[in-house]
Amino acid sequence: MPTIYKFDEQFIATGETREISASEGAPFGWTRTAPPETIGTQVAQFSGRDGWALLAEAPTALPAPVPQVVTMRQARLALLQQGLLASIQPAIDSLDEPHRSGANIEWEYSQTVERNRPFVELLSQALELTDEDLDALFTLAATL
């Protein structure tokens, strides 16, 4: 039975192996090509058709992507934790029509909040939130 070798989300060999039948394909995150031996801080990084490359050390972790959609429940809990929930309705009320009515509908009836919606942009401007602040809110919301 052939042995397959596991690699992580950065394509670094994990050291985990498994045997599969000769007719089975390697699942995603696994390869039939054995990684090279490493010494000290070296790591083996899978590079597809070319096999493995030896790196002097493991690459730094990639930052987690900012969630683009959260539930309205998650959004409201994040706003509450950050002391912003009570500011939402006054911010909506400060908008000119027809944006005010549209924002009220979004706030009251949406089941999700999408990072790229005009409603989110309007509210973030009204609350004077930076893009980084908004990213932090969406990241927090996704954990709730």
Residue 60 falls inside a structural domain? no
Whether 51 and 90 map to the same domain: the answer is: no
Residue 136: C-alpha distances to residues 67, 77, 96 (Å): 10, 13, 27
Residue 138 falls inside a structural domain? yes
Whether 50 and 73 map to the same domain: the answer is: no
Residue 77 falls inside a structural domain? yes
What domain range is 110 assigned to? 69-142
Whether 83 and 43 map to the same domain: the answer is: no
CA distance 136 to 41: 33
End-to-end CA distance of the chain: 45
Q: Output the pLDDT for position 9.
A: 85
pLDDT in tens, the chain (144 residues): 899 999 998 899 999 999 999 888 888 899 999 999 999 999 999 988 778 999 999 888 777 899 999 999 999 999 999 999 999 999 999 999 999 999 999 999 999 999 999 999 999 999 999 999 999 999 999 999
Residue 62 falls inside a structural domain? no
